[in-house]
Amino acid sequence: MRLPSILLIFGAFFGFLGAIHNTDDNAGYHNFKLIRINPETEGSVKYLRSLYEDPSPYELDFWQPPTNIGAIVDLTVAPADAPRFVKDLESKKISYIVAVNDLSKAIENERGSDKFYNPVAGFAYDKYNSLEEIQTEMKRLKKEYPTMITLIDIGQSHENRTLLVMKITGKRNPLGSKISMWIDAGIHAREWIAPATAMYIAHELLLGYENDATVAKLMDHIDFYILPVMNPDGYEYSREKNRMWRKNRSPAKCARQTFSTVCCSGVDLNRNFDWFWASTGSSSDPCHDTYHGSAAFSEPESQAVRDFLEQNTPEAFISLHSYSQMWLIPYGHRKQSYPQDYHTGLRPLALRATKALYELYGTKYQVGTGADLMYEASGGSHDWAKGQLKVPYAYLIELRPKNTMMGHGFLLPEREIVPTGLETFESIKVVADELVAQFVEPVIRAKLTTTTKPAIPPYRRGYSIIDTTTMEPVDEITQKPTEAPTTEEPTTTTTEEPTTTTTTEEPTEAPTEPSPTTVEATEASTTPEASTSSETSTTENSEPNQKTSTPVAPEASTVEEETITPIKCVDYGDYCRLWGVLQLCYRDQVSKLCPKTCDSRCSFSV
């Protein structure tokens, strides 16, 4: 038996109705036991699996279902059933410990004291907030950051609560369009750390935009779509009625049994997506915690997410859950079933993300598919995002704690919210940075290579300056009639004709003189104006056979260019390329840090 809200209508002669646990009151968890089991044999796993999948003689709620030998199983048991259940475990020689002796006290200890909260404009990011508080904060942020936040109502729940998405983006849009990342949380009602972490990620993005160049770069190229509570009805129900509620609040479905009619509410939304729906790891029993619904996308919450993402397909999809500290990769419906890019893209990025997460507080995450690490389960949202929607990077993150010995499973104390949010944000940045590297930077490079380049001065790339005169200017250059025409060519020419040559023809009154002679200009004659000046300064002597060229002093600007020390074309800043695209080279600090990017002379230096 699970812990859904159950209405049992029995015949009047069945007097044991009062023995059924009423889960509509958190106080009802008084003396419920949280038991941690370590199955060491295949027989133990098989026995526990039968309790999980089939009708059970005990009132049990599996927090971590049985999967394989050595995989910890967490479950709660009602006080009336605890002695018999423990005796049953002992008779089968199954190892166990009682992690929590009274679940109601663990629920009380989950919440902190108001004096320890640190509210920001009335909203405490280190607290488990209600749906109303979360959505009110989203609206406040919209007013504070009107150009960076857009609120999107993507649909309604069964009980007409809004699925409110917060789009967060940077103020700049250098490429004209942006890629996107989707982050949802709270698909399972009792996993409170997930919505708290989603809100903390939003907080870090907004705070970091003005203070962290890395975050600013990411937000200027990525739209972050954050849905903090995907299951608003279930989330509120877990706060007000039953702390351990998992599913949504779809209307009860009733089934006639031998002596009774059983009616149960709710669908497991993470078994309701159209990826091998209802094939493995879910139940057709409406009273089971993993009931997959009457059809794929039968629920308004999953429909709303599907419809929005089909119209706004992201480059990355992340769904936040708890608990067990795992970074799960598609696919989870069958063991050893992987996308084509599992080993080349998905897993390497997941390893880098969890490494960044670990480096903050030393929190270790396992990486792999849910089927390989835990159990097979079809109909998951991240599997659908990868398999059907073709999102390049899709993940499901199981947040803190590792197990019930560290934070009491789903009842993670509020003091863990901030470190969980911060370390998760570090991993999100790694994923976002990969998106920029893969989908944005190639576009930037393409734009840089197609940008119109400035006019090429003669001394720049493709030209080697050739000296054809001595360094000291001569008073006269005389061409002998017996010399053949001479042409000097640049040694590393990349264009067909060098622009630094001038041609001087013989006077028309001396037809017997040799053919025109081409003379290379000196280094001083490196501009068209200098060449023209030389040409116009040519004078004829009284003798028709003689021609004299009087050199003209080069312009002052040309002399200055000659004496400038060659610039060192090296960028000293990590974001020089981005600053160049954003056209920030006019700033003194940027131009000093980024000579290779900003100084036009470096564009053509050898």
3-state class percentages of the chain: helix first, strand second, coil last, to nearest 5: 35, 15, 50
Token pair 């996993």 is found at: 191
DSSP assignment of 388-453: TS--SEEEEEEES-SSTTTT-TT---GGGHHHHHHHHHHHHHHHHHHHIIIIIHHHHHHHHHHSPP
Give the residue among 131, 366, 78 at the shortest CA–CA distance from 244: 78
Task: Report the Cα 26 to chain-centroid distance in Å.
Answer: 37
- Bridge partners (DSSP) of residue 539 are 548
Structure tokens at 480: 């002998």
Secondary structure (3-state) at 504: strand
Catalytic-residue membership of 398: yes
Residue from 191, 236, 376, 398 carrying the catalytic annotation: 398
CA distance 234 to 320: 16
- Dihedral sign for Cα atoms in the order 207, 351, 317, 436: positive
The type of residue at 596 is K
CA distance 127 to 105: 18
Token pair 């060449």 is found at: 531
Give the residue among 410, 379, 181 at the shortest CA–CA distance from 294: 379
Structural contact between residues 300 and 338, judged by C-beta atoms closer than 8 angstroms: no
Give the residue among 265, 4, 236, 268 at the shortest CA–CA distance from 134: 236
> Which backbone phi and psi does 155 adopt, to 5 degrees?
160, 180
| Active site residues per annotation | 398
